[in-house]
Amino acid sequence: MCGIAGLIHRGKSADVGSELTSMLQALKHRGPDSTGFALYGNPREDEYVMRFKVAEQEDMRHGFLIHDQVKERKAEVDKRLEESGVRKTAELDATEYAFRYRFSFDGDMKRTADYVEDIEGVEILSLGNALELIKDLGDATVVSEQYSLSGFEGTHAIGHTRMATESDVDIRSAHPYWAYPYNDIAVVHNGQLTNYWGFRREMERRNHRFMSNCDSELIAVYIADRLDRGDELEEAMTRSVDELDGVFTYVVATEDKLGMAKDVMAAKPMVLYESDEFVALASEEVAIRSVFPHEIDTYDPYEGEVKVWQS
């Protein structure tokens, strides 16, 4: 089933960490397996922020060697970043296996990302000037507390509560997906894509990387590919409604935009609230009500509809 949610403040920033936590917790019944957040802080032009993991949460429960391995993998990440010319300015270890680095860099980001991900067990969850992508097993409150997301100041955010159906219960199959290697693009999705394998092979031929077997990852890669070919975000999303087959509603965010697209069958739910200051969208209105308890006007977008909002 899965639940998706997004919000964007227009012209100001707010505690999007707490707001999205409330919305996703209200959607817990749609997917209790894992929860993911893509939070957009105030961008710093001269600095990158990178979230990455060196093991799955499940790995940490088995074997005696894993604790040494995560240390070795992290040390190798540090070594390779340094070799690539990355100048680390801040480091945060939310868990034993997931980290947040802030750094300055002016080299080839894709090459550096590829070099880091070449280490066994290492996956870059997000990379950009504003985006911070956090995902782990558990409901929204558990993940939010684990990664101290309350108080995260930013302009917009998207998130996901996952009920695993076509791939495993693990972090690599959890949403959101970062549109590797493009800065600050993340996607959450509710639905199933039926032309996943054909499209995946096409994308792989175009040198895009896939970290999971989750069909939702294809949307992030697809959007990245279209942006790479020069499409505007809304153009890429409109094209996706024609080209991606299946039933889906997805939400995508970039450094300063939030967008949603719904398949032509309108088979997956989405409720919208729009005002001049704020836009909230979710699989169920109860999520929007968790941040807007008073009476508001909401509506369902129609089949094949694509919408994009600016922060």
Partner 1 sequence: MAELKTTDSPLEMGMHTEQLSGRTQQVFFSSEEGDNYTYPWADEVDLDKSTEIDAEGLEGKEVNLKIRDAMGQGYGTITVLNPAAKHSLGVGILNRLNLRFEGSLGYFGCGLVDGPNIVVTGRVGWSCAENMMAGTIVVEKNAGSTFGAALRGGDLVCKGDVGSRTGIDQKGGTIIVGGRAGAFSGFMMQRGRMVILGNAGKNLGDSMYDGTIYVGGAIEDLGVDAVEGEMTPLDAQWLTQKLGQYGLETPNGVEKMTKIVSGKQLWNYDNLEPSEKKLVL
Question: Residue 266, interface with partner 1 (CB under 8 A)?
Answer: yes
Under the binding rule (CB under 8 A), the answer on residue 288 touching partner 1 is yes
Question: Binding to partner 1 by residue 242, rule CB under 8 A?
Answer: no
Give min distance, CB of 27 to partner 1, in A: 11
- The C-alpha angle 82, 117, 198, rounded to 5 degrees, equals 150
User: Among residues 67, 198, 265, 277, which is the contact residue for partner 1, using CB under 8 A?
Assistant: 265
The binder of partner 1 chosen from 264, 275, 277, 310 (CB under 8 A): 264
135 binds partner 1 (CB under 8 A): no
Q: Is the peptide bond before 176 cis (omega within 30 degrees of 0)?
A: yes
- State the catalytic residue, choosing from 1, 2, 55, 223: 2
214 is catalytic: no
49 vs 213: CA distance, rounded Å: 26
Q: Which of 38, 10, 24 is nearest to 287 (CA)?
A: 24
How far apart are CB 109 and partner 1 at their closest, in Å? 42
Tokens describing residue 158: 């998207």
Candidate segments 72-80, 143-151, 191-199, 278-286, binder of partner 1 by CB under 8 A: 278-286
Residue with Cβ nearer partner 1 (92 or 264)? 264
Tally of helices (H runs) and strands (E runs) in the chain = 8, 17
Residue 285 binding partner 1, by CB under 8 A: yes
Q: Within 13 Å of residue 192, how many CA atoms lie on the same side as its CB?
A: 7
Q: Are 4 and 158 in contact (CB under 8 A)?
A: yes
* Cα-to-chain-centroid distance, residue 191: 16
Q: SS3 helix, strand, coil % of the chain, rounded to 5?
A: 30, 30, 40
Single out the residue of 58, 118, 302, 310 in contact with partner 1 (rule: CB under 8 A): 302
Q: Count residues binding partner 1 (CB under 8 A).
A: 18
Q: Which residues are catalytic?
A: 2
By CB under 8 A, name the binding residues for partner 1. 264-266, 269, 271, 284-286, 288-289, 293, 295, 297-300, 302-303
